[in-house]
Amino acid sequence: MNPPDYEYLRRLLKDQSGLDLSVDKQYLIESRLLPLARKSGLSDISALVQKLKTGAPSFVTQVIEAMTTNETFFFRDKIPFDHFRESIMPELLRARAARKSIRIWCAAGSTGQEPYSIAMCLREMGAALAGWRTEIVATDLSQEVLEKSKAGIYSQFEVQRGLPIQMLVKNFKQVGELWQINADVRAMVQHRQLNLLHDFSQLGVFDVIFCRNVLIYFDQDTKTNIFGRLAKAIEPDGFLVLGAAETVVGLTDVFKPFPERRGLYRPDARSASARTSVPGAGMPKIAAMAGL
């Protein structure tokens, strides 16, 4: 790939998705975009760049989705779901006993493994949630991955990655060589296409926000802006769950680490005034994407 083509793609990705690639990530672009180029009848990355320059919006969308969509799997990293069962839900059951409702947002829902893992955790709680209203909202930049999530159909390989066999038997039915998550579990998850720095106030306020493996390649200003906006979308006693390689430390004081729970954060009441006015609300759109 020649340098001008790489710089053009870097600028396009930064402007359209917030993805901030360093100068040594040519291999990543080639591995993601060469298959798309060939599928579109183009010989190489240079031909792909030339097509992008013609201003074809649908092709720009395909390129952004190819770069910002990545693998995910059920109960990824395990620890966040341990936190969900052992720390988050017990506290919320006490704190929300009067209203009996809990709202959860997966801000990079991808092909559905994360929101459905949360849904299966809630189903495991059985009688403890009898009479409660639980809502899971899954958002992502890519409409393609959201459609896969809605269908809830996964390969044998996908269901073997992180999903305990007893949960597979209990929550899925086999369809030929594939597995489909049961309709009652699918019904627990709402899907919305969303860019994180667009106005998401219409989603309302959540008790738990999973924003995992999204921020890794964003620059510091963008991360700070996103944290500020997330703080406005979470209850004062809510929980923010980040990926293992992500942190608020050194970036913002609107969240503080939850003691002895890696990747878990709470809104900081002392910073409530900071959450009432978040700079950069008019910044270019930032993709809610699965982590690279």
Write out pLDDT tens, residues 44-81: 999 999 999 987 788 888 888 788 766 688 999 999 99
pLDDT at 285 over 50: no
Determine the pLDDT at residue 71: 67
To the nearest 10 degrees (0 to 180), the angle between helices 45-53 and 57-68 is 130
State the DSSP H helix or E strand holding residue 89, giving kind and residue range, or none if neither.
Answer: helix 89-95
pLDDT at 169 over 50: yes
For β-strands 153-154 and 178-181, DSSP reports them as: antiparallel
DSSP lists the bridge partners of residue 175 as: 178
Q: How far apart are CA 268 and CA 151, in angstroms?
A: 38
Identify the architecture of domain 3-68 in CATH: Orthogonal Bundle (1.10)
% of the chain with per-residue pLDDT over 90: 57
Domain-by-domain residue ranges, the chain? 3-68, 79-275
How large is the average pLDDT for residues 206-230?
89
pLDDT at 274 over 80: no
Determine the pLDDT at residue 283: 39
Starting at the earlier edge strand, list the strands of the sheet with 178-181.
Answer: 153-154, 178-181, 172-175
| Token code pair at residue 116 | 């459905």
Inter-CA distances, 134 with 79, 188, 282, Å: 22, 8, 32
| Topology (CATH level 3) of domain 79-275 | Rossmann fold (3.40.50)
pLDDT at 260 over 90: no
pLDDT band at 191 (very low <50, low <70, confident <90, very high): very high
pLDDT at 114 over 50: yes
Q: How far apart are CA 40 and CA 45, in angstroms?
A: 11
Determine the pLDDT at residue 69: 62
Q: Comparing C-alpha atoms, which of 193, 192, 187, 123 is closest to residue 152?
A: 187
Determine the pLDDT at residue 127: 93
Type of residue at 169: V
Q: Comparing C-alpha atoms, which of 159, 150, 81, 162 is closest to residue 121?
A: 81
Q: How far apart are CA 288 and CA 278, in angstroms?
A: 18
Q: Full-prediction pTM beyond 0.75?
A: yes
pLDDT at 279 over 60: no
pLDDT at 251 over 60: yes
Mean of all residue pLDDT scores within the chain: 87
